[in-house]
Structure 1
Amino acid sequence: MITAYLYQNQSLQSIELTVSDAIPDGTLWLDVYQPEEDERQWLSSYFVEEVPEEDDFNEIEASARFYTDKDGLHINSLFPQRLGTDLKAVNVSFNLRPNLLITIREEDVGLIRLLRNYLRLGRLDAETPADLFLELFNLKVEYLSDLIEDVYTVLENVGDQALNAQELDDIFKLITMQEDANGKIRLSLLDTQRSLRYMNRYYRKQLHDDNVKDLKEMLADVDSLMPHSQFIFDKLNFLLDAAVGLSGLQQNKIIKIFSVAAVVFLPPTVIASSYGMNFANMPELDWQFGYPMALGMMLASAVGTYLFFRRKGWL
């Protein structure tokens, strides 16, 4: 699906294009979502170099994610995407030109929808493709900040729950989910930092002063968020160690109960075993009070062992 966006008189107009259409005059943004082969062929007519493929989006080396050629500035960037309670990182390919921004993506991105809504409502003022690009990255940085705050909130609740041994299974699950989310947040932060630094280094001359100011502010915001992400990793490790320790204590308590029970019933077992032997010369076998005596000895030995443990503070 190909959508052209024209931003005129502080209002956004969107036009759905087909392969038989040309890009309308005054288009600032061309958004290509899950392009078919014929749409890629149509798009190739607007590229001097080749159109980025889906495999190119997932490359991690800097030379494949950030580069400049005859078509302008190319940046492949990760965008966080909420899927229920899970967090996913989605790659979006950007081609920034002096008069046009082209985005190519294979998956839906909530921040792109948010950008469109803000433009329609007039909450953002974007007059150039660079304005659109920077506004989208600004929304991305703000969203990453919100995600970090959400992780903080969850970890505070996990810290309280860690004192309740009955909820250890839920705690381990929450810690695992938050570790995965924080890893993707940190990856998006690093990717955003690399993207903006590359733009600041190799595309700065094409930006006006306000763009450069916004760029520096976003870099400062990303730099300030990185320590928070590292702190979350440290806190996650601490909570995981605490949960493992509590789990070990819980298991030790159970093993301790079985151990004490085994020792408490050891003397009665010895007595019962002794009088369970079938030797001829055992006077107590013919004694009238032999059976009650054996039961009394077993009970007294069990109670005595239990009281001894209590006195030593082992129970």
Structure 2
Amino acid sequence: MLTAIPSDAANPVWIDLLMPDEADISRIEQNYGIKVPDRAALREIESTSRLRADGDTLYMSVPLLARTGTPQWEIAPTGFILSPKVLVTVRYAQLDLFEAMTKELAEAQDLTPPLALVRLLEEAVDRAADHLEHAAELVGDVAQTVFFDDLGEGGLARETRILRKTIRTIGRANDRASRVRYMFLSMGRMVSFVGDRCTPKLDQDIQDRLSAVGHDIASLDEFEVSLSGRIQLIQDAATGLISIEQNDVVKLLTVASVVGIPPVLIVGIYGMNFKNMPELGWSWGYPYALGLCVLSAVVPYLWFKWRDWI
């Protein structure tokens, strides 16, 4: 699908290609001499593939975040082709960013291809910052659960379920933050590339806005690094708490098994029924054996308790 901005102009400033077909690609190549990259080309990760110049035309690609209808977000490789006459964007996924900017730029005055590109980058950075803010909120909620809430109420099973849910939540936050940082890395290179290649040709206002986008990316990248450190700390803490709980369970089972060994030994001895076993003729032989079983269980238990093992 091809969307031109302004739609009623003979020479549009911005053309957005969403899942372009052969007719759309052929039209762009014939009218503007631009080679539209396919999906495979947009997925290339080498810098030379993502950022290159062909005369006055810049070919760039950057991974953006796209909704999937689930809490998980996916990376959508997106192409930006900046020429003196037109800005062409190529994408193979629905992106809220482009839907919003289509309405805004359609009403913009004195729109130029560099201005359209800068406005798209500004909005992309703003939306990426929202992703980081959401991830930071998740991390804050998880930190409250791990470090401040009393997880012991409700039993061991409930505590384990909460910690497992916590690890999944922190994993989702980490996944989103890492995807945003990956996007920032590519966007930062793209901003520098445009600035280096087009600085003499760009208006001062466009240059200043490009520089501001670069500074925003750098500051948000630092925030993401700090957030990743918090995520790692909380993840290690939650994992450590689960290990402690598992050790407590193993300790309890160990104590129970040790406490049960002496009574079993005694019962085994008195279950042999030897003819010359003196205790068989005692009037209090059976109560004596039972008492000895209880005593052999209580003594190890008290010893474990004294050592503060249980």
Moved more, 301-310 or 224-233: 301-310
Q: 2:53 aligned with 1:68, yes or no?
A: yes
Q: Residues 125 and 86 (structure 1 numbering): CA distance in 2 closer, same or farther, change over 3 Å?
A: farther
Once the two structures are superposed, residues 196-255 of structure 1 have per-residue CA deviations (whole angstroms, 9 ceiling, x without a partner) of 000010111221011001011111111111111111222222122112211110110000
1:5 counterpart letter in structure 2: I
- Paired with 1:170 and 1:60, the residues of 2 have a C-alpha distance of 34
1:117 counterpart letter in structure 2: K
**Local SS of the residue matching 2:74:** strand
Structural mapping, 1:138-217, within 5 Å: 138-163=122-147, 164=151, 165-166=159-160, 167-217=162-212
Q: Is the 8 A contact 2:138 2:170 kept in 1?
A: no
**Local SS of the residue matching 1:79:** strand
Which residue in the other structure is 1:21 paired with?
none
Moved more, 269-278 or 133-142: 269-278
Structural mapping, 1:247-286, within 5 Å: 247-286=242-281
The alpha-carbon deviation at position 309 of structure 1 amounts to 2.3
Which residue in the other structure is 1:220 paired with?
215
CA RMSD in angstroms comes to: 1.8
Which residue in the other structure is 2:18 paired with?
33
Q: Residues 126 and 113 (structure 1 numbering): CA distance in 2 closer, same or farther, change over 3 Å?
A: farther
- Paired with 1:51 and 1:308, the residues of 2 have a C-alpha distance of 78
TM-score (norm 1): 0.89
- Paired with 2:24 and 2:239, the residues of 1 have a C-alpha distance of 53
Percent of aligned pairs with the same residue?
28
Aligned residue pairs: how many? Answer: 298
Among candidates 115, 129, 153, match of residue 131 of structure 1: 115
More strand by share: 1
Which residue in the other structure is 1:56 paired with?
41
Among candidates 290, 293, 301, match of residue 306 of structure 1: 301
Q: 2:92 aligned with 1:106, yes or no?
A: yes
2:136 counterpart letter in structure 1: Y
**Local SS of the residue matching 1:265:** helix
- Paired with 1:262 and 1:65, the residues of 2 have a C-alpha distance of 64
TM-score (norm 2): 0.90
- Paired with 2:254 and 2:268, the residues of 1 have a C-alpha distance of 20
Q: Is the 8 A contact 2:5 2:102 kept in 1?
A: no
**Runs of at least 5 residues in structure 1 that lack an aligned partner in the other structure:** 7-13, 16-23
The alpha-carbon deviation at position 71 of structure 1 amounts to 5.9
**Local SS of the residue matching 1:27:** coil
Q: Residues 40 and 119 (structure 1 numbering): CA distance in 2 closer, same or farther, change over 3 Å?
A: closer
1:247 counterpart letter in structure 2: I
- Paired with 1:172 and 1:87, the residues of 2 have a C-alpha distance of 18
Q: Residues 78 and 210 (structure 1 numbering): CA distance in 2 closer, same or farther, change over 3 Å?
A: same
Q: Is the 8 A contact 1:48 1:71 kept in 2?
A: no
- Paired with 1:115 and 1:311, the residues of 2 have a C-alpha distance of 70
Q: Is the 8 A contact 1:73 1:96 kept in 2?
A: yes
**Runs of at least 5 residues in structure 2 that lack an aligned partner in the other structure:** 152-158
2:25 counterpart letter in structure 1: R
- Paired with 1:255 and 1:100, the residues of 2 have a C-alpha distance of 68
2:251 counterpart letter in structure 1: K
The alpha-carbon deviation at position 259 of structure 1 amounts to 0.8
Moved more, 207-216 or 110-119: 110-119
- Paired with 1:49 and 1:108, the residues of 2 have a C-alpha distance of 23
- Paired with 2:101 and 2:33, the residues of 1 have a C-alpha distance of 28
Q: 2:283 aligned with 1:288, yes or no?
A: yes
- Paired with 1:312 and 1:219, the residues of 2 have a C-alpha distance of 61
Q: Is the 8 A contact 2:28 2:34 kept in 1?
A: no
Q: Residues 70 and 47 (structure 1 numbering): CA distance in 2 closer, same or farther, change over 3 Å?
A: farther
